[in-house]
Chains A and B, each alone.
Chain A
Amino acid sequence: MTTTLPAYDEVVARYEPVIGLETHVELGTNTKMFCGCPTDFGGEPNTRVCPVCLGLPGSLPVANKAAIEATIRIGLALNCSIADWCRFARKNYFYPDMPKNYQISQYDEPLCVDGYLDVEVNGELVRIGVERVHLEEDTGKTLHVGGATGRIHGATESLVDYNRAGIPLVEIVTKPVPGTGALAPEVARAYVAELRDVIRSLGVSDVRMEEGSLRCDVNTSLNLPGEEWGTRTETKNVNSLRSVERAVRSEILRQASVLDGGGRITQETRHFQEDTGDTRPGRSKETATDYRYFPEPDLVPLAPDAAWVAELKAALPELPRLHRRRLQADWGLSDADMQSVLNAGAVELIEATVAAGATPAAARKWWLGELSRRANEAGIELADVGATPGQVAELQSLVDAGKLNDKLARTVLEGVVGGEGSPTEIMTNRGLEVVSDTGALTAAVDEAIAANPAIADKVRSGKVAAAGALVGAVMKTTRGQADAKTVRDLILERLGA
């Protein structure tokens, strides 16, 4: 179906969007939710499995205390009430990614309910209601063979790896968010970004969208002003912050086009297309999903002790939004400068570099300058660029001590990123230290003066600016390993200018 999409501004002037988000976060516990299998990423297939997570007869699950604690902390950070008593439930479905034929989840008794998260959009706070935060287990990974993959088995087989099956997964569901108008896509993005930062600050997950440890489904509906909320669609496969924004926007446009044409929105699951930025319908189910939830008989109820919950609440870190505001003040940055730090994903890196001894200005210079440039070129996250905050602070201390000039420091940084070692090691091994031996420098200066008598005369006669050419000559003979200001001072001294 090809239809011309209406203009976005025009659509949001006529329709009111309502959004909602469901986010899944894989917890960074050592072990799975209900068994002692390790959770580390990237093992050979079926090497992190046991009778419990394979659903073998006679095996019994036991809940992971660290996962319960992490979920309660997430709930508290999102201003939720923590249930004083709740249960796990079986969600029955027929698909081989769970070997038990059901997923242990929570249904009508989630661990955390009724909270909110304040997010900042264009300098304004938007409060996003949180309906619930519950705990469940992740599924295995299926690989379909044959057919489209060109394999000869035919498209009738799935190969399943259960390493991921049973990893603790926290689901965070917002209340419907009306009233954001044209900003709906940005609000959705800001919410996911803020949620990610909150969870990261708690240290309970690495929340990496590209690795799937944070996954997001986006609900969107449109209604005319004053009318009831429209039928919503659920968009899956939204794997980056940018995609969250694009998915909402494209779904608003698509639904408006359907409604304008006199059509009706079908309640369905759609899939975001990373390449085109639009959504396509998923496979339609003939009947409404019937998961036949019932309380999990193999697990006893959870009753978090009020004193424990109070203790966890008291130990929560500062919220990222407030933390950022404090850093901005400490670092003396304008809103625009802070925004570029945020956009570069450099807040924590700069913070750690400052903690390691660098000034905020120096830390910001390296992370937003040379290192951001390298990360962008390589298409990777700044945090993965290959330099640590400790190394950057060490590099800056060498500059401050006069051992490296700016050019040499860049060369050393190149070595750091290339994994050659610490800045001091690289400086020593590559012989990059600034020539501070005055005897050697004086010799180089005298040589430069002797080789450029005309320029030397000009300087002697008071044209101090001409000294620049002599400085250049000295820098050349010392292969850049001299401090330009020292060289200049020396030249002026020798020429009596």
Chain B
Amino acid sequence: MAAISREEVAHLARLSRLAVTEEELDTFAGQLDTILQAVAQVGEVAAADIPPTSHSVPLTNVLREDVVVPGLTPAEALSGAPDAEEQRFRVPRILDEDVAS
């Protein structure tokens, strides 16, 4: 059985705002399925006594002191922006999700 369906790929593409054609959906669904199956093999090796990890290095509590460090000037900050106005990043408006969390 496939690890990821064509519908799930379409859903993820929509969430990522990627325009994916019907043909590409077939291609990507197949490719992602291969990747997920390979990852699943790793999962099979992991025994019950091996806890799942989200980080490759077993570290905890990497923290910084609350001290201000100089950042970028507005000009530097906006230098890579496609467009700017009033010292702000200018982007297309996202109409259907007006209020974020």
Contacts and interface: CB of A to CB of B under 8 A. Distances in A.
B49 interface: no
Interface string A292-303: 101111011111
B59 A300 contact: yes
Interface residues of B, number: 42
A46 B61 contact: no
B65 A157 contact: no
Given A46-B74, A65-B65, A157 B89 contact: no
Given A53-B71, A159-B89, 12 more contacts: A29-B66, A30-B67, A38-B68, A49-B71, A49-B74, A65-B63, A103-B101, A139-B101, A158-B93, A159-B90, A283-B98, A299-B62
A203 to B, nearest CB: 14
B100 interface: yes
Contacts of A230: none
Contacts, number: 155
A375 interface: no
Contacts of A65: 63-66
A157 B54 contact: no
Interface of A: 29-31, 35-38, 44-51, 53-54, 56, 62-68, 85, 87, 91-99, 103, 139, 143-145, 155-162, 236, 269, 271, 282-283, 285-286, 290, 292, 294-297, 299-305
A56 B73 CA distance: 14
A297 B64 contact: no
A46 B84 CA distance: 11
B90 A158 contact: yes
A55 to B, nearest CB: 11
Given A290-B15, A301-B55, A62 B62 contact: yes
19 contacts: A29-B66, A30-B68, A31-B66, A35-B69, A36-B64, A49-B71, A50-B71, A93-B97, A93-B100, A96-B91, A139-B101, A155-B93, A157-B91, A159-B89, A283-B98, A285-B97, A286-B96, A295-B54, A300-B61
Given A49-B72, A283-B96, A143 B88 contact: yes
